[in-house]
């Protein structure tokens, strides 16, 4: 039963990774715009969100 649960989680993770990549790309674009506009609040928010997305990606690939 445990192997079945792990397999299902892995499949869900495989579906989530492409979405995560798109979210990271979007957030990188947002960060770039914030840097260009010198918006310190948005820079901080984008960095925090990118760190969360990065952590999720690493967790899914493990």
Chain segment 15-33, per-residue pLDDT in tens: 888 999 999 999 999 999 9
Q: What single-letter DSSP state applies at residue 62?
A: -
Give the whole-angstrom CA distance, residue 22 versus residue 12: 16
- Mean model confidence pLDDT for the chain: 87
Mean pLDDT calculated for residue range 3-22: 73
pLDDT-derived band at 59 (thresholds 50, 70, 90) equals confident
Distance CA 1, CA 29 (A): 42
pLDDT for residue 32: 98
Residue 1: pLDDT band by 50, 70, 90 thresholds? low
* pTM for the whole structure: 0.77
């Amino acid at each position: 039963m445990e192997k079945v649960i792990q397999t299902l989680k892995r499949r869900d993770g495989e579906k989530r990774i492409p979405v995560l990549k798109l979210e990271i790309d979007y957030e990188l674009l947002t960060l770039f715009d914030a840097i260009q506009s010198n918006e310190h609040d948005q820079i901080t928010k984008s960095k925090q969100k990118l760190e969360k997305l990065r952590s999720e990606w690493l967790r899914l690939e493990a």
